[in-house]
């Protein structure tokens, strides 16, 4: 057999093997998802421990931290109802259910009384929402971030990120940011974290909304549509920084924010995450912290709403446990928070998951707060969550059965995609 024929045959075998593996991955992922959604049917949501909203002064303003959706939504709706001048509202998911309708009606009421209402929502995340819900009175300026935004630049990855942010700013006076989407299930069934900000920090949050709006408004509105927020702030809050991932500018500072903070940690790194699929360097940074004696704890849902993400997330468990990182898994409810607190002084609350989609793909926003009182709040919340967690031990992890190991091995290669 000639060398060229042998090479061709080897390439054919390699292609077939690759297709077989991808096929098995797809079938496995679909089967897991179907079985999981079948099992969830008719399952009653279970209660979980929560903390009441906690307000602390930070600089010349305040931060209030929420861990229960109903508390948060009540305050967001009250802020919208009291708006006099301007509302900036941005969400990834916006369900057409009771809570979703309440937000829509509150925004419509505000627009009718003369408030300038600007709304941004992600087109892809809300594909399943009925079109009638997505029709707004002309007085509300709506920027639907399109499902497909790359035009003819098919291979330009900068245009494939989703708008994953969740922001509300009212009258330059109060701002909200964090993990909560808008929907009834999130009000009572999911454990998430969001914060309310007053004081000079609000301006920076407003700025983040305006930057997104100005970046994308041209294709959605007439050319003469005035950009938002051209003025600059007269003062700023050094204890709070708003980090934004902006894929179209290929700018992803949130990952760097985490790595820098973890690298500086001396006593503890406590992270709470919904979907935890870090890249290898991120894992190494956590392991190095644990090895130098830092108390590194990762709190995750025992079962998230995306079972495939759960399986893929487990790929690094052995390495992390081996380095002394402690993994806690929240029972009976979905933890959707994206937060961390370090050394009693540093905290972050945001929209970015620790996975590729958030760290290097989507539009995201995280507020970084350097303040001991806020860190104390985050630690209290973490400890409350721990009371509803089971710790995963190395013995337990090592004793998992062969089927689980097989599933992990098959799904593991998908990790860089999520």
Ligand X SMILES: O=P(O)(O)OC[C@H](O)CO
Q: Given the complex with ligand X, which of 86 and 181 has the nearer CB atom?
A: 181
Provide the b/e sequence for 37-71 (b: ≥16 CB within 10 Å): eeeeeeeeeeebebbebbebebbebbbbbbbbbeb
Q: How many Cα atoms occupy the beta-carbon half-sphere of 383 within 13 Å?
A: 6
CA dihedral 76, 304, 125, 357 (to 10 degrees): 110
Q: How many residues bind ligand X (CB under 6 A)?
A: 8
CB of 214 to ligand X, least distance (A): 24
Residues 193-232 that bind ligand X (CB under 6 A): none
86-91 and 167-170 beta bridge pairing: antiparallel
CB of 129 to ligand X, least distance (A): 13
- 64 counts as binding ligand X under rule CB under 6 A: no
Closest C-alpha among 68, 55, 51 to residue 335: 68
| Residue 253 to residues 78, 278, 288, Cα–Cα distance (Å) | 32, 15, 21
DSSP three-state, residue 366 = strand
Residue from 181, 272, 285, 366 touching ligand X (CB under 6 A): that is: 181
DSSP three-state, residue 391 = strand
Strand partners, 327: 298, 392
Per-residue contact flags (x/-) with ligand X for residues 266 to 305, judged by CB under 6 A: --------x------------------------------x
- 92 counts as binding ligand X under rule CB under 6 A: yes
| Residue 389 to residues 121, 131, 274, 287, 382, Cα–Cα distance (Å) | 33, 40, 14, 22, 10
Q: Given the complex with ligand X, which of 228 and 337 has the nearer CB atom?
A: 337
CB of 313 to ligand X, least distance (A): 13
Q: Given the complex with ligand X, which of 190 and 203 has the nearer CB atom?
A: 190
Residues 148-167 that bind ligand X (CB under 6 A): 164
Q: Given the complex with ligand X, which of 181 and 348 has the nearer CB atom?
A: 181
CB of 93 to ligand X, least distance (A): 6
Q: Which residues contact 299 (CB under 8 A, 6 or more apart)?
A: 270, 271, 272, 273, 328, 329, 330, 335, 382, 385, 386, 389
Q: Given the complex with ligand X, which of 124 and 136 has the nearer CB atom?
A: 124
Per-residue contact flags (x/-) with ligand X for residues 326 to 365, judged by CB under 6 A: ---------------------------x------------
Q: Given the complex with ligand X, which of 115 and 352 has the nearer CB atom?
A: 352
Q: Given the complex with ligand X, which of 25 and 305 has the nearer CB atom?
A: 305
CB of 92 to ligand X, least distance (A): 5
Residues 15-54 that bind ligand X (CB under 6 A): none
> Where do contacts with ligand X occur on this chain (CB under 6 A)?
92-93, 164, 181, 274, 305-306, 353
């Amino acid at each position: 057999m000639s060398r060229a024929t042998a090479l061709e045959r080897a390439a054919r075998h390699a292609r077939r093997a690759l297709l077989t593996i991808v096929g098995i991955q797809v079938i496995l992922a679909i089967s897991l998802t179907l079985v999981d959604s079948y099992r969830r049917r008719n399952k009653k949501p279970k209660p979980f421990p929560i903390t009441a909203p906690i307000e602390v002064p930070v600089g010349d303003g305040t931060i209030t931290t929420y861990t229960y959706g109903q508390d948060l939504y009540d305050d967001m709706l009250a802020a919208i109802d009291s708006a006099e001048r301007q509302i900036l509202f941005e969400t990834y998911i916006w369900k057409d259910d009771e809570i979703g309708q309440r937000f829509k009606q509150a925004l419509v009421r505000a627009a009718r009384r003369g408030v300038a209402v600007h709304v941004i929502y992600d087109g892809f995340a809300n594909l399943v929402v009925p079109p009638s819900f997505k029709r707004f009175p002309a007085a509300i300026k709506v920027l639907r971030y399109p499902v497909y935004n790359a035009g003819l630049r098919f291979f330009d990855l900068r245009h494939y990120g989703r708008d994953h942010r969740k922001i509300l700013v009212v009258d330059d006076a109060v701002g909200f940011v964090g993990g909560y989407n808008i929907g009834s299930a999130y009000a009572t069934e999911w454990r998430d974290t969001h914060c309310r900000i007053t004081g000079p920090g609000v301006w920076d949050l407003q700025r983040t909304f305006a930057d997104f709006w100005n970046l994308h408004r041209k294709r959605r509105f007439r050319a003469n549509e005035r950009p938002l927020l051209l003025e600059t702030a007269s003062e700023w809050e050094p204890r709070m920084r708003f980090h934004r991932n902006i894929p179209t500018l290929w700018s992803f500072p949130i990952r760097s924010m985490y790595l820098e903070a973890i690298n500086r940690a001396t006593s503890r790194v406590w992270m709470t995450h919904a979907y935890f699929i870090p890249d290898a360097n991120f894992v190494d940074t956590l392991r190095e912290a644990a090895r130098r004696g830092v108390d590194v704890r990762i709190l995750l849902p025992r079962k998230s709403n995306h079972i495939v993400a759960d399986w893929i997330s487990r790929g690094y468990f052995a390495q992390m446990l081996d380095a002394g990182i402690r993994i806690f898994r929240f029972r009976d409810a979905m933890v959707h928070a994206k937060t961390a607190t370090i050394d009693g002084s540093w905290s972050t609350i945001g929209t970015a998951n620790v996975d590729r989609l958030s760290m290097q793909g989507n539009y995201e926003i995280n507020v970084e707060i350097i303040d001991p009182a806020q860190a104390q709040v985050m630690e209290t919340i973490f400890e409350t969550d721990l009371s509803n967690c089971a710790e995963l031990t190395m013995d337990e992890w090592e004793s998992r059965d062969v089927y689980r190991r097989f599933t992990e091995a098959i799904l593991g290669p998908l990790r860089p995609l999520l």
